């Protein structure tokens, strides 16, 4: 058990400066463990895990494009709780609105069991009666006002809104870099 804590502690040293809270929590967990307070150690590790997931969520959210000229962007901060109930992972979501009231929503989900269940549907979109199209070498399944793609077999990109208004937002995203997210 001490070896596990040591590995966690060493890996926390490799994190950027913003991870000081995580390092502090992990050090506190190690101290509690050494003192025999297992429950407190577990609580501190849970808090460190949550902080790391928050950092990973923020990192995923950085792939959401900025609002185009004449549009506004509202980033949702409520996805984490919903994903926890669906098996974990991280997610990011933004809603884009233009002056005329048109809305487009882009949702990103990574490392969630639901993402894998969507892969079959996206891969067989034509068989299921959906259109497909390519945006930056990514295959998107298109049905009505929804578009979906699976990046690197683990990140779901899903949109809601008029595809003509959605495409420019998707074209502004860096799917090649997104494929390396969290690796």
Q: CB-based contacts of 183: which residues, under 8 Å, 6+ apart?
A: none
Measuring CA to CA, which residue among 180, 138, 129 is closest to residue 159? Answer: 138
Q: Which pTM does this prediction carry?
A: 0.75
Containing 40, the helix (H) or strand (E) segment is helix 38-61
Containing 5, the helix (H) or strand (E) segment is helix 2-13
| Residue numbers of the chain with a pLDDT score lower than 50 | 1-15, 17-18
Question: In the structure encoding, which two tokens stand for residue 149, read together?
Answer: 């793609």
Domains and CATH numbers, the chain: 2-60 (no CATH), 65-178 (3.40.1000)
| Eight-class DSSP state of 17 | G
| Residue 159 CB coordination number (10 Å) | 23
| Residue 59 CB coordination number (10 Å) | 14
């Amino acid at each position: 058990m001490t070896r596990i804590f040591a590995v966690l502690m060493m890996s926390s040293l490799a994190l950027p400066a913003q991870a000081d809270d995580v390092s502090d929590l992990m050090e506190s967990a190690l101290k509690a463990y050494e003192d025999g307070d297992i429950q407190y150690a577990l609580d501190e590790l849970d808090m460190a895990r949550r902080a790391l997931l928050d950092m990973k969520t923020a990192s995923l959210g950085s792939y959401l494009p900025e609002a185009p000229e004449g549009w506004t962007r509202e980033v949702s901060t409520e996805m984490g709780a919903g994903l926890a109930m669906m098996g974990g992972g991280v997610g990011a979501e933004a809603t884009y609105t233009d002056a005329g009231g048109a809305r487009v929503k882009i949702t990103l989900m990574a490392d969630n069991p639901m993402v894998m269940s969507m892969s079959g549907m996206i891969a067989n979109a034509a068989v299921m009666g959906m259109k497909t199209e390519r945006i930056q070498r990514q295959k998107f399944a298109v049905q009505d006002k929804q578009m979906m793609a699976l990046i690197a077999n683990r990140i779901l990109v899903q949109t809601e809104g008029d595809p003509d208004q959605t495409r420019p937002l998707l074209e502004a995203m860096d799917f090649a870099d997104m494929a390396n997210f969290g690796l």
